[in-house]
Chain A
Amino acid sequence: MSSSELPRKEANVLKGHEGAVLAARFNSDGNYCLSCGKDRTIRLWNPHRGIHIKTYKSHGREVRDVHVTPDNSKLCSCGGDRQIFYWDVSTGRVIRKFRGHDGEVNAVKFNEYASVVVSAGYDRSLRAWDCRSHSTEPIQIIDSFLDTVMSVCLTKTEIIGGSVDGTVRTFDIRIGREISDDLGQPVNCISMSNDGNCILASCLDSSIRLLDRSTGELLQEYKGHACKSYKMDCCLTNSDAHVIGGSEDGSIFFWDLVDASVVSKFRAHSSVVTSVSYHPKDNCMITSSVDGSVRVWKT
């Protein structure tokens, strides 16, 4: 993908959230997107037509992260009320609430089979919750982190968490090992490359680092944006050619994956860009911001 095909044109603005939008995520096929924010709601949108479809209200405080199952049937969300909500997408009802985190929950993800929800919390732990059973107890608590866990990624066999203690820890379920990669800087957000070989870790020293997962080697650093105090997402394009990251001044940065040069940069929002999500197939991107809008960008 050449840099000309980067999504830089604003296709739609999804407005409806009051106050900051804290996360915006495509679903697995990229036809819909979800956003959640300070107004305690989760909203389902069709980003391509710019339509608001549904609002999910039940959280007691701000919603920090949301994830949808590959079959689009269930949602999980988490937030300041220290609970993980397991939703039914169509009815909008909460199927289950998982309580147990001792602090706000920063991130939440389904596993491949949508049978487990893994959440990352302020209480320095990752917790795995079973969606199949009726138990509301976590089936696994990983508490080897030394500080707030900000972000979590799941593969088929691993749980990866990024924490403010500067580590990205990979928990391999197959071999029962924990691999800790210390980056020395608080990790804000981690995101997997599409080929699964690399981890992109956004650090609070205003740099995004690319790590080789097998060796733990630092492959590249991407700089130029401002990321010092907010939880901001980063991601890779679906072709893994570019790294995308938001900035605290509302800009979006595109870096070349290999030589770490800023390929493109434009001002997308008036305030902090909290989240970026890239379409799984098309050249399309959604960004969310503290200014309360979710924007859809296309080429």
Chain B
Amino acid sequence: MDSDEEDYVFFGTPIEREEEITNRRKKAAAEASGNLRALPPWKQEVRDEEGRRRFHGAFTGGFSAGYFNTVGTKEGWAPQSFTSSRKNRAEVKQQSIFNFLDEDEKAELEGTLGTSSQFDTFGFTAAEHARKQADKEQKQRPSAIPGPIPDELVLPASESIGVKLLLKMGWRHGRAINDSRASSLYDARREARKALLAFASEDAKAPCPADEPVEEPESFTVQPSDDDARSSQSLPAFVCNPKQDLHGLGYDPFKHAPEFREKKRLHLLNDKQRGDRKTMSIKDSLFGSKSGKAAPGFGIGALEEYDAEDEDIYAAGYDFEETCIEDDEEPSRLGIESKQPSRLSIESKQKVVARDQGVLPGFKVASVSDYQLERFDPPVIPKDFAPHHKFPGPLETLKKLDVPSPPEVPPPDDSNLKLLIEGVAKLVARCGKLFEDLSRKKNQSNPLFSFLSGGNGHDYYERRLWEEHQKFGVQAKLLLDGKLSPSMQKMTAESRGKLLGEKPLERSSRETTSSSVASGEFQLQFNLSDTFKKPDSFSKLPEVAKPFKDDPAKQERFEQFLKEKYEGGLRSTGYTVASNMSEAARAREKLDFEAAAEAIEKGKRGKESMVSTQPLDFLASGMQFTSGGLEQVENGHAEDLVTKKMYPRREEFQWRPAPVLCKRFDLIDPFMGKPPPAPRARSKIDSLLFIPDSVKVAKPEEVAITNRDVPAAQTGAQMTIEDVAEEEIEIVAENVERPVDLYKAIFSDDSDDDVEDLNTKKVEDPEKKTEVATTALNRLIADDFLESLGKELGFEVPPDTPYSTNKANALRIETPNSDSGNAKFSTGTYLNPGNETAQDGDSQKNKSIPVRSGGYNSSKHTVGLLNMSGKVNEDKFAQEDKKVKSPSSRQRNWSSSSSSDDERSRKHSKRHRHRSSGSYSDPSSDDREHYRSRSKGKRERSSREKSSHSRKHSKHHKHRSRDSPSRSHRGSEREHSEGRKEKRKRRD
């Protein structure tokens, strides 16, 4: 059977036979012994003692249960018969949980012990206590009808008649109204068990009913149906809570957030304590965003949460949050203000209360209201107001001031009389009119005093008197002024200066430079010192002695400096002359000044001694520092300008638009024909190589332009058959090489480093370079020698890997094709690294060289090899060698120059290099190999537009090759190659 099963294919499940059953039984026994144990749990099968599967899947019978997978019993399943007669009524069957319990479960239930609340006096008292508390609380609560009136008017009956009756019937407070007798019919044990059962089953649903009224005053506890068990339970006290909120009936905002209920309760409590009603803005807690600033009116979906971005940055007119903020602010504000028991705080408090009292919840006080109390500010008391009145001296004298002046009269001829008149006038002026009257009365008879009464000299007297009054009045007024307003000095600096006869300061009309404040200050000081000192020597400096005359501001500063140096007088304390100058610039300038001053001094002395009017020779030397100083000043300015001019700053980057984008914009893709940018960080090396490219910025525009021109030229020129042929190989090559590439990428081997060294560090360390070269040479020489030997003998040396044969064949195919392009490209200028067509031409030429030289079978076409073979067979192919060498060396030079764009070639020819290196069974390529691979790579690049080369990178490299080091690089490369050649010669 078993062997048969090997040969046949069975469909369906075989019908089990009797023997199989026995078989199975045996099998089951065997498996049970331990065979099955080894299986994982999900593969084990549960079998009964018969060896049948106990459990099946859904479609194979399901769980085997009952009597042979039936719901019946051994006797079969029979429905309960319903019989009812007049005598024997069918009793309504009370179903209890026990109807559905198994025996063992029943046993379990009955075995447990527990307490019954009936016998729990503490529980009962606790319930009673709770009820009383609830009552008390209810009393505290505001009644359903708001306001204080009903409490006073309606006096509740202490005990309703119903309660009284019940009490008479044996009911006690907190007890359920039940027929307690009925329960006594049952035996205690059963009752207790039942009660326990009920508790057990309803554990979660009815948590400790006694506490319920207190905890959840708003909810009604539903009386459980199994009555007798609850007979001991206290009747829940219903607490009527007046509806105070604005929610819909039955809506509980805190249904799922009971913690907020507590918060609200506290809040309300606080409000009550404070005595003013507050509206709790639930919106804040429930819907408010984190910042409490959501756009009004446009809530987001119920399922979405408010985010930072949903904040209403445009603070809208209607502000819900206002009230909440006030709520929050209130306590703190009050707290602060209560600490300072000043009139102000009371006022503000009143204001706050006033503001809040008039406001209905949900409204806010209008910021601009039509009705406004008009307020008048109290009159402003002048600062100098003195509460005591002071009479300002004799009034009449002051009054007299207003009297129009009598005409000027010549004094009387009599000098005695004149003196007398003057004296009397002075006295009168000082002592008042009273004195005049007195003296007039006294000297009525005296003719000398006739001027008093209109006699001789009266006119003069009048005049004198007026003059004296005038004089006196002015003095008095001055005194008064000084007394009354000390701040208002009549004597200003100017007037004092005038008194003292000083030269008044004049605002300099000279042009003030940018820093007007500083220069103004400076001017003032300058003038001041001018007034005190007369620096005639310097102010009258001859034109030649003004070394900074092209910069008037500086000249001024210089003069100031001289003054400070040689003269006394006022000094500007902090040298604040040019505050707009930097510290360094100032120091430099000071040095300049120092030098200039010295030169002037010298010149002066010279002038004094020689008394010659020859122009100062310091000018020659002085020009130096002046110019230097000027320059520095300009530098300073330039710095300022630079900081100012830093923006806008322009930078340029490479950016690659997507082809589709170009298409949609109806533009030609500037990167058309370029391969897509390499995916980021494909390998370690790539990422390393890419970074500098992407970081590199600010390429000259022309690069872009030339680049832009290139594709057009390129696309047409370079699709030769040869390229196609090579592409085919390329595909093969890729498949072969991947692992090697990856390997190299991971373990960045020394070959890469070598290449890098060769190309970047050549100039710096020729030692290393030559070393690398020699080692590389050593490695390759054997192969090349063999090959060239083979050529010499006229047959091909089979390459060591099958892959390279493939390649060699392909190359052999290629070469004739490349001839076609030869004529065109051989004229290409090889020195232009920016022109790719030229490059390609060169590479083409390079390839075509063997054909032209004719001496070589074109199995290998690369320059390095070519040269090598040429060297090896030097004596034999002397002619050809020369012929070849000149172009090849040229070629080498070129290629070495182009090798400065090592990254490109390395990156893109890495694959090729590796391939070629594979063919030479030497994974670490030397630079010659590199040449080959590069040239090959170049060719490939030119041919396969959509291969791994991106224009971007080539551009970068081109650009780099244009940079200054490229030339020296090229030269060194040439030297290097020459040296290598020599070395090789020596070896040979």
Binding site for B on A (CB under 8 A): 18-20, 38-40, 60-62, 80, 104, 111-113, 115-116, 128, 130, 132, 139-140, 142, 144, 156-157, 166, 168, 171-185, 209, 211, 215-218, 229-230, 271-272, 290-291
Contact = CB atoms under 8 A, between A and B. Distances in A.
Given A19-B296, A142-B655, A61 B310 contact: yes
B301 interface: yes
B648 A39 contact: no
A174 B704 contact: no
B314 interface: yes
A38 B455 CA distance: 101
B314 A171 contact: no
Interface stretch (B478-486, B513-521, B619-627, B664-672): B664-672
Q: 8 closest Cβ contacts across the A-B interface?
A: A216-B650, A184-B647, A178-B655, A290-B314, A176-B670, A178-B653, A182-B649, A139-B660
B295 A38 contact: yes
B679 interface: no
A175 B670 contact: yes
Contact of B667 (A130, A168, A173, A271): A173
Given A61-B300, A157-B665, A140 B653 contact: no
20 contacts: A18-B298, A19-B296, A19-B298, A38-B298, A61-B300, A113-B664, A113-B665, A132-B664, A139-B660, A144-B655, A173-B657, A173-B665, A175-B708, A176-B704, A177-B652, A180-B651, A182-B647, A183-B647, A184-B649, A185-B647
Given A171-B655, A181-B648, 7 more contacts: A19-B314, A19-B316, A171-B657, A176-B671, A176-B704, A183-B647, A216-B648
Contacts of B309: 61, 80, 104
A174 B317 CA distance: 49
A39 B649 contact: no
Contacts of A113: 664-666
A60 B301 CA distance: 9
Given A38-B295, A178-B655, A182-B651, A111 B668 contact: no
A202 B823 CA distance: 60
Question: Which of B296, B314, B649, B654 is the most central at the interface, judged by chain A CB atoms within 10 Å of its CB?
Answer: B314
Contacts of B295: 19-20, 38, 62
Nearest to A171: B655
Contacts of A40: 298
A116 B667 contact: no
Contact of B652 (A19, A38, A60, A180): A180
Contacts of A184: 646-649
Interface string B313-338: 11011000000000000000000000
Contacts of A217: 648
Contact of A116 (B313, B316, B665, B704): B665
Given A18-B298, A104-B309, A179 B704 contact: no
Given A19-B296, A20-B314, A111-B665, A176 B646 contact: no
Contacts of B314: 19-20, 38, 230, 271-272, 290
A223 to B, nearest CB: 15
Given A19-B298, A20-B316, A211 B648 contact: yes
Given A19-B295, A175-B704, A218-B647, A139 B658 contact: yes
Contacts of A139: 658, 660-661, 664
Nearest to A291: B317
A121 to B, nearest CB: 12
A177 B701 CA distance: 9
Nearest to B651: A180
B661 to A, nearest CB: 5
A141 B803 CA distance: 42
A216 B651 CA distance: 9
Contact of A290 (B300, B316, B664): B316
Contacts of A182: 647-651
B665 A177 contact: no
Contacts of A157: 665, 667
A116 to B, nearest CB: 4
Interface residues of B, number: 39
Contacts of B691: none
B657 A18 contact: no
A230 B314 CA distance: 8
Contact of B298 (A62, A172, A185): A62
A132 B665 CA distance: 12
Interface in B250-299: 295-298
A224 B310 CA distance: 31
A275 B772 CA distance: 68
A157 B668 CA distance: 10
A219 to B, nearest CB: 10
Contacts of A177: 652-655, 704
Given A39-B297, A140-B658, A230-B313, A179 B665 contact: no
Given A19-B316, A179-B652, A140 B657 contact: yes
Contacts of B705: 175
B876 interface: no
A130 B671 contact: no
A111 B296 CA distance: 35
B656 interface: yes
Nearest to B650: A216
B366 to A, nearest CB: 16
A157 to B, nearest CB: 6
A171 B671 CA distance: 14
Nearest to A20: B314
B662 interface: yes
Contacts of B298: 18-19, 38-40, 62
Interface string B330-367: 00000000000000000000000000000000000000
A179 B651 contact: yes
Contacts of B668: 174
Contacts of B647: 166, 182-185, 218
B648 A176 contact: no
Contacts of B652: 177-180
Contacts of A178: 652-655
A175 B671 CA distance: 8
Contacts of B300: 60-61
B706 to A, nearest CB: 11
Contact of A18 (B297, B650, B655, B661): B297
Contacts of A104: 309
Interface string B918-929: 000000000000
Interface string B200-225: 00000000000000000000000000
A181 B651 CA distance: 6
Nearest to A182: B649
Nearest to B699: A177
A248 B14 CA distance: 88
B182 to A, nearest CB: 64
Contacts of B296: 19
Contacts of B317: 291
Nearest to A139: B660
Given A19-B297, A182-B648, A176 B654 contact: yes
Contacts of B313: 229-230
A177 B707 CA distance: 12
Contacts of B658: 128, 139-140
A182 B316 CA distance: 34
Contacts of A173: 657, 661-662, 665, 667, 670
A181 B650 contact: yes
A62 B310 CA distance: 9
Contacts of A185: 647
Contacts of B657: 140, 171, 173, 176
Contacts of A211: 648
Contact of A174 (B650, B656, B667): B667
Contacts of A174: 667-668, 670
Contacts of B660: 130, 139-140
A111 B310 CA distance: 30
A291 B704 CA distance: 49
A175 B708 CA distance: 7
